[in-house]
């Protein structure tokens, strides 16, 4: 009897160990890709801050922040749609699924072209501020980042995290090489060319793996019904992503109008870089868990709850550990930028606290949007977050410099987390 029970327990552990091993391996490669991707911009920014002027650093960071916001507009939430469609293709890759895959990529390219056409109507004073950036390079970067984002979603949906890590490493090498040349030439425009070249190389790597999956009959290549099906997946995520990106960009853009605006914006940019870096784990676990959550939501409610709890708990724990280390090493980390005019310890600490407060968001959002009317409720939660962040920053006052948006974000996430838990309780989710 005991022997049979022991054997049964061993079998159950064996069944559990296989998915755990797969998740662990995927996590390692997804983590590596994120560290390489986000770390490359931080390292490039450190080079520019140390060896170029404050104005050059401000232009470089303004370019990257504005580019990220515009690309969020142009992708229309299609990255999430691509992740879901390509995740479903791992179960069944028939002609209908190939048609959906081709459709989501075609829509991504078309929406990026449309965004470039719209940007051509925007005055320089609003789009480029006083940075003197090149419009053609900015347009090309919008196209590249938009396609890169959607292709990354497709590759992560397929679960090919090794390819993501390979592309991240190649992008890092190219970016640092070109930025090093830019430092020697004293040209921030060359550094920006490095960002574009890095993205183009990553697109080529992703496309080489995805292209064979798209080949087949073109009878279902594009249709109104097919496009509508894809956009029904992408739409809710587009609105929430658009809202979040706009708030981050608008609060940063407001700093350029205050006294010593370039320096204050630089402090904001440095704080935002480390805010994003601390949130690497939530970003990574979203990539790894989202395809599994899509499948579990339809088949196994208990497994879905376990995934969400593991995701949320791990995110918060790791963010606390990294955040505590960042607070203890704040002077050392800020000294890496080599220019006291572009950093501020108080702003840095506020962004670290905001990152820790924000760390459970990805896990909670995944739990909410897996069933209807979850996406609409998550959108309402994000509206509340945006209004809280904007009003809090306004209350503090932009005369306080970069501290105002940092306090706004911290307050917004402190309100968003309990509100999300309340929504989950009402939906009887974990």
Q: Give domain status of residue 70, yes or no.
A: yes
Query: Are 342 and 263 within 8 A, CB to CB?
Result: yes
Tell me what the mean pLDDT of segment 143-153 comes to: 93
Q: Specify whether 225 is located in the same domain as 133.
A: yes
- C-alpha–C-alpha distance, residues 254 and 261, integer Å: 9
Domain extent for 409: 257-430
Tell me what the mean pLDDT of segment 363-388 comes to: 83
Q: Which of 2-16, 20-34, 62-76, 168-182 has the highest mean pLDDT?
A: 168-182
- C-alpha–C-alpha distance, residues 56 and 41, integer Å: 15
Confidence check: pLDDT of 374 > 90? no
- What tens digit of pLDDT does each residue of 255-293 get? 887 777 788 888 898 899 899 889 877 778 777 877 777
The pLDDT > 90 percentage for the chain reads 29
Choice between 123 and 298, residue whose per-residue pLDDT is larger: 123
Stretch among 90-99, 201-210, 267-276, 385-394 having the lowest mean pLDDT: 90-99
- C-alpha–C-alpha distance, residues 109 and 75, integer Å: 9
Q: Give domain status of residue 74, yes or no.
A: yes
Could you give phi then psi for residue 52, rounded to 5 degrees? -130, 175
At 194, is the secondary structure helix, strand, or coil? Answer: helix
Q: Specify whether 264 is located in the same domain as 208.
A: no
Q: Angle at which helices 361-369 and 403-426 pack, to 10 degrees?
A: 40
Q: Give domain status of residue 365, yes or no.
A: yes
Tell me what the mean pLDDT of segment 394-417 comes to: 90
Q: Using the 3D structure, point to which of 170, 199, 233 is the last residue of a domain.
A: 233
In which band, very low, low, confident or very high, does the pLDDT at 150 lie, cut at 50, 70 and 90? very high
In which band, very low, low, confident or very high, does the pLDDT at 396 lie, cut at 50, 70 and 90? confident
Q: Which of 12-21, 35-44, 335-344, 421-430 has the highest mean pLDDT?
A: 35-44
* DSSP annotation of 343: -
Give the count of alpha carbons within 13 A of 172, CB side only. Answer: 17
In which band, very low, low, confident or very high, does the pLDDT at 298 lie, cut at 50, 70 and 90? low
- C-alpha–C-alpha distance, residues 380 and 375, integer Å: 9
Q: Which of 67-81, 153-167, 330-344, 370-384 has the highest mean pLDDT?
A: 153-167
Q: Give domain status of residue 191, yes or no.
A: yes
Q: Using the 3D structure, point to which of 195, 217, 233 is the last residue of a domain.
A: 233
Confidence check: pLDDT of 207 > 80? yes
Number of structural domains in the chain: 2
Q: Specify whether 308 is located in the same domain as 165.
A: no
Q: Give domain status of residue 13, yes or no.
A: no
Q: Specify whether 187 is located in the same domain as 274.
A: no
Q: Specify whether 102 is located in the same domain as 227.
A: yes
Q: Specify whether 70 is located in the same domain as 103.
A: yes
In which band, very low, low, confident or very high, does the pLDDT at 140 lie, cut at 50, 70 and 90? very high
Q: Specify whether 227 is located in the same domain as 268.
A: no
Q: Give domain status of residue 250, yes or no.
A: no
Q: Which of 9-18, 51-60, 84-93, 356-365 has the highest mean pLDDT?
A: 356-365
Tell me what the mean pLDDT of segment 156-165 comes to: 88
Cis amide leading into 11 (omega within 30): no
Q: Give domain status of residue 109, yes or no.
A: yes
Q: Give domain status of residue 7, yes or no.
A: no
Burial 341-373 (b: 16+ CB within 10 A, else e): bbbbeebbbbbbbbbbbbbbbbbbbbbbbbeee
Q: Specify whether 206 is located in the same domain as 307.
A: no
The pLDDT > 70 percentage for the chain reads 85
At 373, is the secondary structure helix, strand, or coil? Answer: coil
Predicted local distance difference test score (pLDDT) of residue 220: 46
CB atoms within 10 A of CB 305: 14
Predicted local distance difference test score (pLDDT) of residue 406: 92
Confidence check: pLDDT of 414 > 50? yes
- What tens digit of pLDDT does each residue of 87-116 get? 777 656 667 778 888 888 888 999 899 999
Q: Specify whether 313 is located in the same domain as 369.
A: yes
Q: Specify whether 381 is located in the same domain as 299.
A: yes
DSSP 197-240: HHHHHHHHHHHHHHHHHH-S--TTS--HHHHHHHHHHHHHHHHH
Q: Looking up tokens 């920014």, which residue turns up?
A: 45
Choice between 403 and 303, residue whose per-residue pLDDT is larger: 403
Predicted local distance difference test score (pLDDT) of residue 224: 65
Confidence check: pLDDT of 379 > 70? yes
Q: Looking up tokens 């390489």, which residue turns up?
A: 36
Biggest CA-to-CA distance, the chain: 79
Q: Specify whether 137 is located in the same domain as 277.
A: no
For the chain, the average pLDDT equals 82
Predicted local distance difference test score (pLDDT) of residue 21: 67
Query: Are 279 and 345 within 8 A, CB to CB?
Result: no
pTM of the model: 0.69
Query: Are 316 and 240 within 8 A, CB to CB?
Result: no
Q: Specify whether 160 is located in the same domain as 300.
A: no
Give the count of alpha carbons within 13 A of 16, CB side only. Answer: 8
Q: Using the 3D structure, point to which of 167, 198, 233 is the last residue of a domain.
A: 233
């Amino acid at each position: 009897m005991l022997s049979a029970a022991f054997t049964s327990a061993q079998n159950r552990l064996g069944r559990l160990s296989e998915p755990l091993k797969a998740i662990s391996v995927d996590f390692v490669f997804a983590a590596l890709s994120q560290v390489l991707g986000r770390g490359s911009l931080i390292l490039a920014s450190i080079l520019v801050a140390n060896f170029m002027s404050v104005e050059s650093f401000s232009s470089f960071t303004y370019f990257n922040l504005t580019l990220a916001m515009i690309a969020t507009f142009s992708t229309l939430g299609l990255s999430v749609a691509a992740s879901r469609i390509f995740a479903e293709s791992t179960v069944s890759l028939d002609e209908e699924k190939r048609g959906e895959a081709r459709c989501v990529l075609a829509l991504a390219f078309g929406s990026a072209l449309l965004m470039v056409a719209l940007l051509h109507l925007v005055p320089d004073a609003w789009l480029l501020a006083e940075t003197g950036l090149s419009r053609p390079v900015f347009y090309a970067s919008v196209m590249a980042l938009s396609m890169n984002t959607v292709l990354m979603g497709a590759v992560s949906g397929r679960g090919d995290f090794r390819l993501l890590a390979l592309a991240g490493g190649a992008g890092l090498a190219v970016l640092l090489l070109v930025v090093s040349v830019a430092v020697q030439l004293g040209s921030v425009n060359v550094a920006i060319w490095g960002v574009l070249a890095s993205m183009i190389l990553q697109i080529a790597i992703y496309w080489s793996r995805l292209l064979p999956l798209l080949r087949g009959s073109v009878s279902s290549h594009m249709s109104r019904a097919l496009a509508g099906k894809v956009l029904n997946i992408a739409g809710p995520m587009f609105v929430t992503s658009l809202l979040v990106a706009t708030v981050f960009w608008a609060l940063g853009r407001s700093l350029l109008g205050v006294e010593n605006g370039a320096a204050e914006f630089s402090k904001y940019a440095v704080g935002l870089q480390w805010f994003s870096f601390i949130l690497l784990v939530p970003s990574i676990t979203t990539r790894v868990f989202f395809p599994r959550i899509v499948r579990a939501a339809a088949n196994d409610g208990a497994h879905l709850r376990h995934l969400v709890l593991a995701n949320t708990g791990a995110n918060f724990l790791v963010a606390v550990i990294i955040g505590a280390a960042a607070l203890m090493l704040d002077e050392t980390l800020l000294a890496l930028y080599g220019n006291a005019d572009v950093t501020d310890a108080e702003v840095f600490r506020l962004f670290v606290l905001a990152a820790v407060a924000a760390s459970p968001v990805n896990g909670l959002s995944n739990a909410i949007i897996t069933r209807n009317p979850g996406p609409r409720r998550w959108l309402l939660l994000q509206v509340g977050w945006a209004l809280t962040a904007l009003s809090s920053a306004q209350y503090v006052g932009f005369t306080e410099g970069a501290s105002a948006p940092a306090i706004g974000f911290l307050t917004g996430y402190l309100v968003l987390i309990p509100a999300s838990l309340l929504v989950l309780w009402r939906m009887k989710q974990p």
